[in-house]
Amino acid sequence: MPPGTIIPYVRQVAAALQYAHGRKLIHRDVKPENMLLGYKNEVLLSDFGLAVIVQSSRDRLQTVAGTVTYMAPEQLQGKACPASDQYALATVVYEWLSGEHLFSGSFIEVATQHVLVPPPSLRNKLPTFPLAIDQVLQKALAKSPDQRFASVLEFARAFEQVCHTEASKQYASAPVHLGKLFTTYRKHSAAVLKIAWSPDGKWIASASNDSTVQVWAADSMRKVSYTRHSDKVTALAWSPIRLKSSTEQGYFIASASADSTVQIWDATTGRRKFIYRNHVHPIHAVAWSPDGQYIASAGEDKTIQVWRMPKKDTPTEKILLISQNSFNTILTLAWSPDGKYIASGGVDQVVEIWAPSTGSTICTYHKHQFTVSAVAWSPDGTRVASASFDRTVQLWDAATGENAVTYPGHSSWVYAVAWAQSGPYIASASSDKTVQVWLAE
């Protein structure tokens, strides 16, 4: 796997081990099989059955226990210490990066190599692999615990820092066109999760962990807030049809939340019109069809539901499609401008383009290095902008999947992206607490 993909996993496992070490516990069996994914895609370190209390002296022998593939030299000699867990995590990182175990063979052969044979350089297997990342890994794999990092958390921080440094070098040397910053909005009090331009391109609605949706003008920063959700707002979409009775924005907004509802409300007044309750788990994505007839929503129940808002002559919502074919949590949905396709993405790091009438997949985009958090179509339907936890927004051809532009301006995970309906502007939002507006050309 690419280094950037595993940074969050290394950080989370290291934090769990550091917590244990702070309470005088050594895990002694750090390996992929003991790393579980939670429902929010977080890593949970399990199986402390072999954990022991840190001894005051390394001379006191312990029972040799653990999985030999990931065991430090001193642990094989019955003298495990906190640095042994760091060594084990480094062997897991080596395996993730290279696709192979650090050492192979029988139990005795692997144990002997851990104790006597220097760890092989990743550059022996991957000649173009960054030297700086390899050096950090080599230090964590030192035979002597005293030669490793002072703590497992220090190893994780060094690994993350060098990965970001190397990624910056790649961006600097890569032949890509970078977007240009236009303005920044800073009114949210927590991470901004989703954003969407109004159909006339005059307003932006941004949803946040602060449980609000804020509707604001990019040029004047005037805003209207909606506060009816009971949990964080995870998705939103403007209706493509203007309200006849409205005097300003003139549109509905559909906002989805971790409270398992989709709420539809007037963007001018903030007055709620309808609540959709057919999802049984938190909802991560909502998208309005271009003709304003249907809404698509997806959540942690791993379904994509396409439905129609009630009207005076139809007092209950009408469901067009409930797809049960998703094997991963879908985090984002976007209809194509002609209404024929939906682009969806999620934790599997890919974007799929599929037909809502049948649920069949048309094509797939694979170039992100981490979870895909948001997608948006260009106004002419020829390109897709996809945002990711790899801290980039990528613009690519909807027909071929070729990557044309990468915007790396955010300093943390990118949660949302929206394409202005008029003009070459794109807005992207991140857990760095900023919304950045930039040129797509």
Give me the CATH number covering residue 229. Answer: 2.130.10.10
Tokens of 349: 């790091």
107/199 same-domain check: no
In this predicted structure, what is the pLDDT of residue 51?
Answer: 58
pLDDT(315) > 60: no
User: What is the model's pLDDT at position 246?
Assistant: 44
- What local confidence, expressed as pLDDT, does residue 213 receive? 92
Domain extent for 418: 181-439
Whether residues 86 and 228 share a domain: the answer is: no
Contact, 344 vs 286, CB < 8 A? no
* 233 and 135 share one domain: no
Q: Coil, strand, or helix at residue 192?
A: strand
Tell me: do 355 and 428 sit in the same domain.
Answer: yes
pLDDT at position 79 over 80: yes
**What pTM does this model have?**
0.52
Give the residue from 173, 192, 227 where a domain finishes.
173
CB 253 within 8 A of CB 215: yes
Same domain, 326 and 211: yes
**Which of 154, 173, 192 represents a domain boundary (last residue)?**
173
Give yes or no for residue 165 having a pLDDT over 50.
yes
Structure tokens at 351: 């974007």
Spatial contact of 160 and 402, defined as CB atoms under 8 Å apart: no
When the pLDDT of each residue in the chain is averaged and rounded to a whole number, the result is: 83
- Bridge partners of residue 52, in order along the sequence: 26
Residue 24 tokens read as 């005088």
325/210 Cα distance (integer angstroms)? 32
User: For position 233, what pLDDT does the model report?
Assistant: 92
Question: What number of CA atoms fall less than 13 Å from residue 224's CA on the CB side?
Answer: 16
Q: What's the pLDDT tens digit per position in 87-132? A: 999 999 999 888 889 999 999 999 999 999 999 999 888 888 889 9
**Portion of the chain with pLDDT greater than 90, in percent:** 31
Looking at the structure, do residues 79 and 145 belong to the same domain, yes or no?
Answer: yes
User: Six-digit token pair at 183?
Assistant: 């303005």
What are the CA-CA distances from residue 421 to residues 197, 263, 380, 382, 428 (Å)?
A: 7, 23, 9, 13, 15
What three-state secondary structure class fits 178?
coil
pLDDT tens for residues 189-233? 888 878 888 888 888 999 889 999 998 886 665 678 888 999 999
pLDDT at 59 over 50: no
240-289 pLDDT, tens digit each: 887 554 444 478 999 999 999 999 988 888 888 889 999 989 998 898 89
Is pLDDT of 170 > 70? no
Residues 219, 239 within the same domain: yes
Q: Which of 173, 195, 211 is the C-terminal boundary of a domain?
A: 173
Q: Is the pLDDT of residue 163 over 60?
A: yes
Beta strands in 247-366 (DSSP E): 252-257, 262-266, 272-276, 283-288, 295-299, 304-308, 318-323, 330-335, 342-346, 351-354, 361-365
How far apart CA 48 and CA 7 sit, in angstroms, is: 23
Instruction: Please compute the mean of the pLDDT values over residues 67-96 and round it to a whole number.
Output: 92
Task: Tell me: do 353 and 322 sit in the same domain.
Answer: yes
Identify which has the larger pLDDT, 185 or 137: 137
State yes or no: pLDDT of 176 exceeds 50: no
User: Are 168 and 209 found together in one domain?
Assistant: no
d(CA 424, CA 395): 12
Check residue 282 and give its pLDDT: 93
Distance separating alpha carbons of residues 29 and 14, to the nearest angstrom: 13
Q: Domain check: are 195 and 167 in the same one? A: no
The continuous run of DSSP H or E covering 109 comes out as: helix 107-116
Residue 436 has pLDDT above 80, yes or no: yes
Q: What is the domain count for the chain?
A: 2
Percent of the chain with pLDDT over 70: 85
- Answer yes or no: do 112 and 17 share one domain: yes
Residues 103 and 227 in one domain: no
CATH of the domain at 134: 1.10.510.10
Residue 247: per-residue pLDDT: 46
- Maximum mean pLDDT: which of 139-153, 161-175, 368-382: 139-153
Which amino acid is residue 324, in one-letter code?
A: Q
Mean pLDDT of 148-154: 94
